[in-house]
Amino acid sequence: MTSLFAQEIRLSKRHEEIVSQRLMLLQQMDNRFGDQNLDKASQMQAAKTAYKRNVSLLNDIEAAAKSLQTRIHPLSQPEVVSLETRYWASVEEYIPKWEQFLLGKAPYPIGFENQNEAENAMQNEAQL
């Protein structure tokens, strides 16, 4: 009977040690979880700060680009605007002729002397 009593006391002490270790480990886990939450909050704050900084930098870059664009290409003078307008009108006028030529449905659109060269070029491309 005394051996059972001694064994009971030994098991009780071992149980207390295990419970004590468990409480210690739970406390450590709780501390680590708290540290992780602090780290996460710190990282979130750093990410928000970086995002705001990046948005600010992008805005500054866009403003600088617009400023440089206006310096490089100042408002066009009337002669330049007139030339651009006439150029695009000419392009729009010739698009259908070139389109038909490139599709092989019409002859070379600009003059007869270059037509043979253009046909030879097209035939050479078709053979490749």
Q: 3-state secondary structure string, the chain?
A: CHHHHHHHHHHHHHHHHHHHHHHHHHHHHHHHHHHHHHHHHHHHHHHHHHHHHHHHHHHHHHHHHHHHHHHHCCCCCHHHHHHHHHHHHHHHHHHHHHHHHHCCCCCCCCCCCCHHHHHHHHHHHHHC
Q: What pTM was estimated for this model as a whole?
A: 0.39
Q: What is the pLDDT of residue 120?
A: 64
Please list the rounded mean pLDDT of every run of 10 residues in the chain (128 residues): 87 95 94 89 92 93 87 74 90 84 81 56 63
Sequence length of the chain is: 128
Q: What is the pLDDT of residue 75?
A: 64
Q: What is the pLDDT of residue 100?
A: 82
